[in-house]
């Protein structure tokens, strides 16, 4: 890893941290345009975060330290997971063999903490949300790992930097791997919608507690706590946008970015693109009935599995 | 070797001391017992550490009038790893057990010295199993271990459930021993004597058929002890019946002797054919997925933890299977990753599972129930027990920065490396999604356990009235939790602990783990460190933000309903219901509906669905033979005559038949 590469990777990391809240904004803006409404501005989440950060906190009387720790763990693990990704298209800030496992593990730790915080309130709604969240997450995880395994087989290396960055992965990705990469991209997008609690698995704009999954888990969080959770959610979308961007670039281009700066600009494009894609999906389809969600997730995983079988031959 | 023997002696002396100093002086007896046992464990552990650091195995041969030939004991790297865990976890369980039993004795329920004596015997016999180097010593120690476990399981023999669990255990363990006798007998035909060295020397000359027989018998014999599906059925009833510290030792250590046995047989045989690797990998996957799925369905916290042992044995077997495949397909790196992952998960599971059982034991002692639906809100009332339990939960679901993550990370990499090969072994990569499913389901299950038992508001009056357990209960748990944290934040420690053994198992020509993995272990430390630092920074920032604002306490939001009761909380059954319904009949949940009520209960598909029906059929067939038993002497004389005639006939004409 050269000095300039690590400089761009830090720049890309900063860009992700700053620009991530734009994704939900772009998504709702897209939705508004497609459904002919005026809608909220793109930077709505920035305003919300700013407002929440300055608010006081109301905590439930039944809660313990885990409730206070959970938003912090969620945000921290999401940030560290992002640092494992080669955001500048070259190498990640933290890179090691098998770091894909750590990536999934960190997201898992965040989810574990948030679900425990939900149960900490003793509310039946939040218990319900926690139950649904861990149920669907446990079905998302195998698909995500199949996608990682496929990318790893193509790159001959089980670290995210090799799987996603241009240097190694691109060189090895022959034309034969392109169908697999496309399938992996579709699969990751499908799973990312579930992982980030968007339609068709969950609907962040619903107002009925009984139908919520992620939102209902955080009913009792307020002020800076809620801000951290909302920000972590946006960041998670950004993380998956970065993965998708790199997979798509790997599938389309013979060579990667010549300069790290170009990759950083592309990352910004990727974040906006993710927002648009999420917004389009939310405009054209309703969320699935919950008994159908496992089928959706299995379908998404199966797509990646076909990709894996193609590269294994 | 002398350190090991001294340790063993001290542990046994501790048991005897507890048996002698009892009655009115029982408290003094407890103190002596703990002191001797802890010193014994430290002494024994020191011997193992020396073997691991020096790297040279030690052994001791006792000649002379020993029955069954010379008795040989030895400690090599494999034994040393297991001994370290045995002594460490054993000491923690013993301290917890002493305090747990003291409350029982204070309540006047029963004398405890016999349980203490049996526990010390069990601990010493496990250590002896791992150090035995001849068949006679091994099987002898194995039986002492099996019987003392039985004695401990039925400690509360006044309850019928406990007696039934004990019986199931006894049948299972003796079936296992039978298979082991058969295994050694099959092997022994060509060996010069009963020492392991002779067995190893005889291995190359074993016929292929004999090797298959030995491997399969080892898998059955040691598999019963390890408890993978479908040989796991004794495990959940036994673990829920036994006193908590015994459950902790059994789940953490005793079932691991099955893993030790398999690895020892692999070492003696010098590797296994590919089919064995595939079989073990397949058993690992099925055991892992089914174990965690069945755990989700449980209401009894100790049964639930027992099913998680089935799951984790599955993960260990996945590692061993990958390792065996690496040996069979001549890929030392894969073998190294697989064996290191499997071994390290054995160590890790011993730590966090005994930790979780000690936590569950403290809860059971405090509330008098193991039913999760009757608990809740214990985090406020037992803060230190909760701290230990939640660390154990985070460790078992395999998230950084805890130790469960490190071993799963190695197994994942073994599976992935197998996928990189050009041979059929690349199909092992399909184990990756299986392992991901296992850890996803484990996360769901431990969210349920930790959340329902410890968080929210108490569901019953007995759960509301509890106070923190005694210091002797939570101190050993917190020590185990610290070990989980240290091995998770400094993975190089654990990897260093097992790599010598993994190298031996991976066979000749192995240089060790790839440098990418050993340096990756240090990067994990960096990840852990940045997670901790970042969390601390955020905590400080939030406090700074909060200083200028108000922080209020209000009741939980219940959609403007302002009279919530504890019964309105989500229950353990409802929490697990969505996942269980996805897996349908495989989840083993039976629903009984009547006009006004519905109840679900979890059955063990193997015990209730297969083993017991089979046993009933055998019993019914055996009843038909009862007609022969008329109780009349002349009839029996007739049988004897007939038998003698048949034997004479065989002697006269048998040679012509063959």
Interface membership of A144 toward B (CB under 8 Å) = yes
| A126 to chain B: closest CA residue | B570
Interface membership of A134 toward B (CB under 8 Å) = yes
Cβ-nearest to A77 among B393, B531, B545: B531
* A257 has pLDDT over 70: no
DSSP string for residues in B205-268: GS-HHHHHHHHHHHHHHHHHHHT-TTS-TTHHHHHHHS-HHHHHHIIIIITHHHHHHHHHHHHH
* B8 has pLDDT over 80: yes
Cβ-nearest to A149 among B416, B538, B554: B416
Domain extent, residue A123, equals: 3-37+56-312
C-alpha closest to that of A64 among B478, B384, B383: B383
Q: What is the dihedral of CA B215, B217, B221, B226, to 10 degrees?
A: 40
The encoded tokens of residue B647 equal 């034997």
* A113 has pLDDT over 60: yes
Handedness of CA A294, A299, A305, A307 (dihedral sign): negative
User: Could you report the per-residue pLDDT of B141-163, keeping only the tens digit for each?
Assistant: 999 999 999 999 999 999 999 99
Cross-chain residue pair B429–A140, CB shorter than 8 Å: no
- The whole-number average pLDDT for the span B180-188 is 90
Q: How confident is the model at residue A2 (pLDDT cuts 50, 70, 90)?
A: very low
Cross-chain residue pair B451–A106, CB shorter than 8 Å: no
Q: Using omega within 30 degrees of 0 as the cis cutoff, is the peptide bond preceding B230 cis? A: yes
Distances (CA, A) of B427 to B259, B273, B422: 24, 16, 10
Chain B closest CA to A13's CA: distance in Å? 15
Which residues make beta-bridge pairs with A85?
Answer: none
Q: Which of A126-140, B3-17, B561-575 has the lowest mean pLDDT?
A: B561-575
Residue keyed to tokens 């650091």:
B53
Measured CA to CA, the distance from residue B354 to residue B118 in angstroms comes to 18
Interface membership of B341 toward A (CB under 8 Å) = no
Q: Is B315 within 8 Å of B321 (Cβ atoms)?
A: no
Q: Which of B107-111, B328-332, B627-631 has the lowest mean pLDDT?
A: B107-111
> What is the residue-averaged pLDDT of chain A?
89
Q: Is A217 part of a structural domain of the chain?
A: yes
Cβ-nearest to A119 among B380, B452, B524: B452
Q: How large a percentage of chain B has pLDDT more than 90?
A: 72
User: Could you report the per-residue pLDDT of A17-33, keeping only the tens digit for each?
Assistant: 999 999 999 999 999 99
Instruction: State residue B464 phi and psi, 5-degree precision.
Output: -75, -25
- The whole-number average pLDDT for the span B250-261 is 96
Cross-chain residue pair A142–B434, CB shorter than 8 Å: yes
Cross-chain residue pair A115–B440, CB shorter than 8 Å: no
- In sequence order, the 6+-apart residues with CB closer than 8 A to the CB of A171 are none
Distance from CA of residue B6 to its chain's centroid?
26
User: Could you report the per-residue pLDDT of B273-302, keeping only the tens digit for each?
Assistant: 999 999 999 999 999 999 999 999 999 999
Distance from CA of residue B84 to its chain's centroid?
15
* Number of residues assigned to chain A: 313
Cβ-nearest to A97 among B520, B551, B568: B520
Interface membership of B519 toward A (CB under 8 Å) = yes
Measured CA to CA, the distance from residue B376 to residue B368 in angstroms comes to 13
Q: Which of residues 48-77 of A touch B (CB under 8 A)?
A: 53-64, 66, 69, 72-73, 75-77
- The whole-number average pLDDT for the span B124-139 is 95
| A306 to chain B: closest CA residue | B430
Q: Is A50 part of a structural domain of the chain?
A: no
Task: Give CA angle at A214 (A213, A220), nearest 5°.
Answer: 110
Q: Is A48 part of a structural domain of the chain?
A: no
Distance from CA of residue A159 to its chain's centroid?
18
End-to-end CA gap in chain B:
52
User: Could you report the per-residue pLDDT of B496-522, keeping only the tens digit for each?
Assistant: 999 989 998 998 666 788 888 999 999
Cβ-nearest to B400 among A102, A127, A224: A102
* A258 has pLDDT over 60: no
Distance from CA of residue B415 to its chain's centroid?
23
Q: Is A43 part of a structural domain of the chain?
A: no
DSSP string for residues in B100-124: HHHHHHHTTS---HHHHHHHHHHHH
Cross-chain residue pair B397–A108, CB shorter than 8 Å: yes
Cβ-nearest to B433 among A96, A101, A142: A142
Which pLDDT belongs to residue B283? 97
Q: Where are the alpha helices (DSSP H) in chain A?
A: 3-19, 22-34, 44-53, 65-83, 99-120, 124-155, 160-164, 171-172, 178-195, 214-217, 223-252, 260-284, 293-312
- The whole-number average pLDDT for the span A205-212 is 82
Handedness of CA B241, B247, B251, B255 (dihedral sign): negative
Chain B closest CA to A36's CA: distance in Å? 32
Q: Which of A133-137, A244-248, B452-456 has the lowest mean pLDDT?
A: A244-248
Which pLDDT belongs to residue A4? 45
- The whole-number average pLDDT for the span B561-586 is 88
Instruction: State residue B599 phi and psi, 5-degree precision.
Output: -140, 145
Interface membership of B550 toward A (CB under 8 Å) = yes
The encoded tokens of residue B115 equal 């349980």
Q: Is B148 within 8 Å of B12 (Cβ atoms)?
A: no
Contacts of B380 in chain A (CB under 8 A): 64
Contacts of B514 in chain A (CB under 8 A): 97
Q: Chains A, B: CB contacts under 8 A, how many?
A: 265
> What is the residue-averaged pLDDT of chain B?
92
- The whole-number average pLDDT for the span B372-379 is 93
Q: Is B72 within 8 Å of B32 (Cβ atoms)?
A: no
The total of structural domains in chain A comes to 1
Cβ-nearest to A64 among B376, B380, B552: B380
Contacts of A212 in chain B (CB under 8 A): none
Measured CA to CA, the distance from residue A23 to residue A42 in angstroms comes to 8
The encoded tokens of residue A167 equal 């240097």
| B404 to chain A: closest CA residue | A105
Chain A closest CA to B579's CA: distance in Å? 6
Q: Please count the helices (runs of H) and the strands (runs of E) in chain B.
A: 25, 5
Q: Which of residues 221-250 of A touch B (CB under 8 A)?
A: 223-225, 228
Q: Is A82 part of a structural domain of the chain?
A: yes
Residue keyed to tokens 């090599």:
B76
Q: Is A232 part of a structural domain of the chain?
A: yes
Please state the pTM of the whole predicted model. 0.95
Rg (CA), chain A: 19
Chain B closest CA to A260's CA: distance in Å? 24
Q: Is B444 within 8 Å of A134 (Cβ atoms)?
A: yes
Residue B623 burial by Cβ neighbours in a 10 Å radius (0-12, 13-18, 19+) = exposed
Chain A closest CA to B524's CA: distance in Å? 8
User: Could you report the per-residue pLDDT of B474-502, keeping only the tens digit for each?
Assistant: 999 999 999 999 999 999 999 999 998 99
Distance from CA of residue B188 to its chain's centroid?
29
Q: Which of A8-17, A20-29, A260-269, B524-533 has the lowest mean pLDDT?
A: A260-269
| A68 to chain B: closest CA residue | B539
Interface membership of A213 toward B (CB under 8 Å) = no
Chain B closest CA to A284's CA: distance in Å? 27
Q: Is A91 part of a structural domain of the chain?
A: yes
User: Could you report the per-residue pLDDT of B391-439, keeping only the tens digit for each?
Assistant: 999 999 999 999 999 999 999 999 999 988 877 888 899 999 999 999 9
User: Could you report the per-residue pLDDT of B199-247, keeping only the tens digit for each?
Assistant: 999 888 888 999 999 999 999 999 999 999 999 999 999 999 999 999 9
Q: Is A190 within 8 Å of A303 (Cβ atoms)?
A: yes
| Between A215 and B190, the higher pLDDT residue | A215
User: Could you report the per-residue pLDDT of B360-369, keeping only the tens digit for each?
Assistant: 999 999 999 9
Handedness of CA B618, B621, B625, B627 (dihedral sign): positive
Interface membership of A161 toward B (CB under 8 Å) = no
Long-range CB pairs of A148-151, under 8 A, 24+ apart, other chains included? A148/A100, A148/A104, A148/B432, A149/A308, A149/B416, A149/B419, A149/B429, A149/B432, A149/B433, A150/A180, A150/A183, A150/A184, A150/A304, A150/A307, A150/A308, A150/A311, A151/A181, A151/A184, A151/A247
- The whole-number average pLDDT for the span A302-309 is 94
Interface membership of B394 toward A (CB under 8 Å) = yes
Interface membership of A127 toward B (CB under 8 Å) = yes
The encoded tokens of residue B36 equal 């001797």
Residue keyed to tokens 């400089």:
A7
Interface membership of B368 toward A (CB under 8 Å) = no
Which pLDDT belongs to residue B109? 67
How, if at all, do strands B598-602 and B589-593 pair?
Answer: antiparallel
Measured CA to CA, the distance from residue B457 to residue B465 in angstroms comes to 12
Contacts of A80 in chain B (CB under 8 A): 527, 530-531, 534
Q: Is A176 part of a structural domain of the chain?
A: yes
Measured CA to CA, the distance from residue B338 to residue A196 in angstroms comes to 33
Which pLDDT belongs to residue B176? 95
Which pLDDT belongs to residue A169? 46
Chain A closest CA to B333's CA: distance in Å? 14
Which pLDDT belongs to residue B508? 66
Q: How many CB atoms lie within 10 A of CB B537?
A: 12
Cross-chain residue pair B416–A152, CB shorter than 8 Å: yes
Q: Is the ipTM of this complex over 0.90?
A: yes
Q: How confident is the model at residue B559 (pLDDT cuts 50, 70, 90)?
A: confident
Residue keyed to tokens 């890179």:
A95
Q: Using omega within 30 degrees of 0 as the cis cutoff, is the peptide bond preceding B401 cis? A: yes
Interface membership of B423 toward A (CB under 8 Å) = no
Q: Which helix (H) or strand (E) holds B415?
A: helix B403-419
Q: Using omega within 30 degrees of 0 as the cis cutoff, is the peptide bond preceding B529 cis? A: no
């Amino acid at each position: 890893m050269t000095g300039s590469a690590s400089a761009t990777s830090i720049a890309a990391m900063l860009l992700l941290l700053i620009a991530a809240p734009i994704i939900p904004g772009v998504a709702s803006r897209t939705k508004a345009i497609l459904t002919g409404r005026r809608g909220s501005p793109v930077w709505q989440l920035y305003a919300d975060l700013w407002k929440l950060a300055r608010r006081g906190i109301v905590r439930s009387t039944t809660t313990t330290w885990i409730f206070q720790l959970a938003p912090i763990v969620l945000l921290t693990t999401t940030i560290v997971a992002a640092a494992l990704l080669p955001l500048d298209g070259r190498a990640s800030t933290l890179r090691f063999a098998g770091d894909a496992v750590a990536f999934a593990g960190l997201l898992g730790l965040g989810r574990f903490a948030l679900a425990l915080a939900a149960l900490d309130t003793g509310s039946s709604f939040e218990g319900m949300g926690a139950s649904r969240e861990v149920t669907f997450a446990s079905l998302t995880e195998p698909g995500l790992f199949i996608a990682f395994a496929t990318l790893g087989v193509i790159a001959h290396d089980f670290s995210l930097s090799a799987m996603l960055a241009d240097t190694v992965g691109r060189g090895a990705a022959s034309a034969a791997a392109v169908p697999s990469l496309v399938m992996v991209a579709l699969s990751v997008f499908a799973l990312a919608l579930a992982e980030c609690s968007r339609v068709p698995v969950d609907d962040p704009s619903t107002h009925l507690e009984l139908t919520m999954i992620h939102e209902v888990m955080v009913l009792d969080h307020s002020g800076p706590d809620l801000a951290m959770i909302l920000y972590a959610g946006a960041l998670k979308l950004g993380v998956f946008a970065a993965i998708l961007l790199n997979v798509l670039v790997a599938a389309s281009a013979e060579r990667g970015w010549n300069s790290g700066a170009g990759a950083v600009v592309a990352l910004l494009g990727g974040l906006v693109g993710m927002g648009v894609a999420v917004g389009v999906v939310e405009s054209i389809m309703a969320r699935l009935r919950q008994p159908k969600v496992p089928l959706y997730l299995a379908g998404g995983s199966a797509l990646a599995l076909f990709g894996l079988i193609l590269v294994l031959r | 070797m002398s350190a090991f023997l001294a340790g063993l002696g001290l542990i046994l002396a501790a048991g005897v001391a507890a048996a002698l100093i009892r009655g009115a002086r029982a408290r003094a007896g407890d103190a002596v017992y703990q002191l001797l046992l802890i010193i014994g464990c430290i002494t024994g552990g020191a011997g193992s550490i020396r073997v691991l650091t020096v790297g040279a195995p030690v052994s001791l041969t006792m000649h002379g009038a020993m029955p069954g030939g010379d008795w040989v004991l030895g400690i090599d790297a494999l034994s040393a790893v297991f001994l370290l865990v045995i002594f460490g976890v054993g000491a923690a369980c013993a301290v917890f057990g002493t305090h747990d039993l003291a409350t029982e004795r204070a309540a006047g329920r029963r004398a405890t010295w016999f349980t203490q004596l049996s526990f010390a015997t069990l601990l010493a016999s496990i250590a002896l199993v791992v150090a035995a180097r001849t068949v006679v010593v091994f099987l002898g120690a194995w039986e002492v271990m099996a019987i003392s476990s039985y004695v401990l399981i039925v400690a509360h023999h006044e309850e019928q459930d406990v007696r039934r669990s004990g019986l199931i255990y006894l049948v299972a363990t003796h079936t296992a021993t039978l298979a082991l006798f058969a295994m050694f007998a099959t092997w022994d035909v060509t060996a010069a004597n009963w020492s392991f060295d002779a067995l190893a020397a005889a291995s190359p000359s074993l016929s292929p058929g004999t090797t298959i027989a030995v491997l399969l018998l080892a898998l059955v014999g040691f598999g019963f002890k390890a408890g993978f599906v479908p040989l796991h059925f004794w495990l959940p009833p036994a673990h829920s019946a036994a006193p908590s510290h015994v459950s902790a030792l059994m789940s953490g250590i005793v079932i691991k002797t099955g893993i030790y046995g398999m690895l020892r047989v692999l070492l003696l045989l010098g590797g296994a054919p590919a089919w064995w690797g595939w079989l073990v990998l397949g058993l690992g996957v099925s055991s892992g997925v089914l174990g965690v799925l069945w755990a989700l369905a449980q209401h009894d916290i100790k049964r639930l933890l027992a099913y998680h042992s089935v799951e984790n044995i599955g993960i260990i077997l996945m590692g061993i299977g990958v390792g065996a495949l690496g040996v069979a397909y001549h890929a030392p790196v894969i073998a190294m990753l697989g064996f290191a992952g499997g071994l390290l998960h054995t160590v890790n599971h011993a730590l966090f599972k005994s930790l979780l059982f000690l936590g569950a034991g403290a809860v059971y002692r405090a509330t008098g129930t193991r039913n999760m639906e009757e608990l809740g809100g214990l985090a406020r009332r037992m803060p230190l027990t909760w701290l230990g339990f939640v660390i154990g939960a985070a460790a078992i679901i395999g998230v950084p920065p805890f130790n469960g993550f490190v071993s799963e990370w190695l197994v994942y990499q073994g599976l992935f490396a197998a996928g990189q090969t050009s041979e059929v072994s690349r199909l092992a990569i399909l184990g990756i999604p299986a392992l991901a499913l296992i850890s996803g389901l484990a996360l769901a299950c431990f969210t349920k356990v930790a959340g329902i038992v410890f968080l929210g508001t108490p569901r019953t009056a007995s759960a509301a009235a509890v106070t923190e357990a005694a210091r002797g209960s939570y101190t050993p748990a917190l020590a185990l939790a610290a070990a989980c944290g240290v091995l998770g934040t400094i993975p190089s420690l654990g990897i260093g602990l097992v790599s010598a053994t993994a190298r031996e198992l991976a066979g000749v020509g192995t240089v060790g783990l790839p440098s990418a993995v050993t340096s990756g272990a240090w990067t994990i430390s960096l990840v852990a460190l940045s997670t901790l630092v970042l969390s601390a920074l955020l905590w400080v920032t939030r406090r700074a933000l909060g200083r200028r604002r108000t922080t209020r306490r209000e009741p939980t939001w219940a959609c403007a309903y302002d009279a919530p009761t504890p019964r309105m909380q989500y229950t353990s059954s409802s929490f697990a219901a969505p996942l269980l319904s996805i897996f349908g009949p495989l989840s083993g949940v039976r629903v009984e509906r009547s006009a006004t009520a519905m109840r679900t209960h979890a059955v063990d598909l193997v015990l209730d669905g297969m083993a017991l029906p089979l046993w009933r059929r055998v019993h019914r067939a055996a009843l038909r033979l009862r007609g022969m038993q008329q109780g009349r002497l002349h009839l029996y004389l007739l049988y004897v005559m007939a038998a003698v005639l048949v034997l004479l006939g065989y002697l006269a004409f048998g040679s012509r038949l063959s």
